[in-house]
A and B are shown apart, each in its own frame.
Chain A
Amino acid sequence: MPLALLKRALLGSRVKDRQFIWPGDLKKSYDVVIIGGGGHGLAAAYYLAKNHGITDVAVLERGYVGGGNTARNTAIIRSNYLTPEGVRFYDESVRLFQDLSFELDINLMYSQRGHCTLAHTDAAIRTMRWRAEVNKHLGVNSELVLRDDLAKQVPLLDMSEDVRLPILGALFHPPGSIARHDAVAWGYGGLASHRGVEIHQRTEVTGIEVEDGKVTAVQTNRGRVACGRVLQAVAGNSSEVARMAGIRLPITSIPLQACVSQPLKPFLDPIIVSGSLHVYVSQTPRGELVMGGSTDPYPLYQTRSTLEFKEELMMHLLELFPFLSEVKLLRQWAGTADMTPDFSPVMGETPIRNYYIDAGWGTWGFKATPVSGKRMAETVATGKVPDLIEGFRLSRFTEFDLVGEKGAASVGH
């Protein structure tokens, strides 16, 4: 390792490779236009170039790369979902994540911690057992742990029985991890740009042209761009962009807030989630506690923070870890979550030909960045929707064939 480091220092080449290549003017047309330069759009661009040799691609981002929900999430990665569709899909993402630092040649600080969803009621214990069985059946490592084992695993968790919601057990999911979210976007975007993909920042899509039911061009604040195919990957802004193409979505945009504490000595290895207490927490390698809960009580296209959110969150966090009462908050922020009625994404084809969608990522889409990028690239390149994402098609709503993940995603993300 030191030798390799020395070589890099002397030759100075590798680091340069990792930087983005910034394009000049927009071309008049591209084979594929990707709307949205978050993790999902950039990952799709990377896999289009790498797996399918399609490089006449422009990613159009109205702000800066990875500045949307990609920069705002609490970076939890897991596959302990409830439905077989969900478990299979997120499991592929966890597997891709495990090797991603090597593939992208960037340190994602991927840190496998284990993910603990607490159960405070008998009903919750039953759901955890259900999830554990579905997970195991599909080869995903999850198990139900009861009080005593949990107390050994998370020694500082308040296991008193004389509290409002005593802890009865938990769903323990060893593959649960956290990673450096910005690096995921930079890694995918940097390598995509080296393969010829153009990434245009401060380029907002303002209109979409459709002829005979087929997309032909997008309008932007920098002019019109003709295109063969379009992939929309704009998370919180999904409904507004889809409307430009005449598509109505099963999506509501609701703020999701989070915050981080001052750094503390390491005391918390696993990620802890409590659905009943509307709180989840993990400790970063720097020692900060990253904390969040459920979405705001009503829809809004805004990323302000509220006092109500913090008061409620802290009240609940102190029920789990009372000794944190003197700890200071360091930062707080919010993102706009694109929520669906069944807490599952919307991926694949739309009523407009050659117009593909990757949306409905709500509070759970960071962990899906690699798999959605890979599978949406496959969809755009081949025109065929892979089996793995078929269950998440937009038309499932008109077919009343939903993929109910609320039990596994409403607080746990």
Chain B
Amino acid sequence: MKMMTCPLNGPRNISEFAYGGEVIPEPASDTVDDAGWASFVFLSDNSAGVVREWWCHVPTSYWFIAERHRRSNEILRTYPASEVFGAGAQAKDQPA
């Protein structure tokens, strides 16, 4: 069984978590053009290396960021979203 370490709840079975997409910068909604918006919504790097990803610990609804290698499936690091987005950013920046 694969484990993931939740920054809030510690190591848990990975089946308790939901994957939420790549962490990519959100374009400014008042200035972005259609292509930029489409690229944010639909396109993806989908790299076969280390990727920064959104994850949610479902039982506690806690969103955080994980760095995971997409070939070895090794989870290198997990941390609160505030480390990237600053304090208070988490709820606003989590993907739907």
Q: List chain A positions with a Cβ less than 8 A from chain B.
A: 237, 239-240, 243, 248-253, 297-302, 304, 307-308, 341, 397-400
Contacts and interface: CB of A to CB of B under 8 A. Distances in A.
A301 B72 CA distance: 8
A307 B15 CA distance: 12
Contact of B18 (A251, A297, A301): A297
Interface of B: 1, 15, 18-19, 34-35, 38-39, 42-48, 51, 53, 70-73
A302 B73 contact: yes
Contacts of B72: 302
B83 to A, nearest CB: 21
Given A299-B70, A308-B15, A397-B42, A239 B47 contact: yes
Contacts, number: 60
Contact of A251 (B44, B48, B51, B53): B44
A250 B70 contact: no
11 contacts: A243-B47, A249-B46, A250-B42, A250-B44, A251-B46, A298-B53, A299-B46, A302-B71, A302-B73, A308-B1, A400-B38
The dominant DSSP class at the A interface is: loop
Contacts of A300: 70-71, 73
Given A248-B39, A252-B44, 15 more contacts: A239-B46, A240-B47, A243-B45, A249-B46, A250-B44, A297-B15, A299-B19, A299-B51, A299-B70, A301-B70, A302-B71, A304-B73, A397-B38, A397-B43, A400-B34
B48 A240 contact: yes
A107 B21 CA distance: 43
Contacts of A237: 48
Contacts of A299: 19, 46, 51, 70
B19 A298 contact: yes
Contacts of A251: 44, 46
Nearest to A402: B42
A399 B18 CA distance: 30
B43 to A, nearest CB: 5
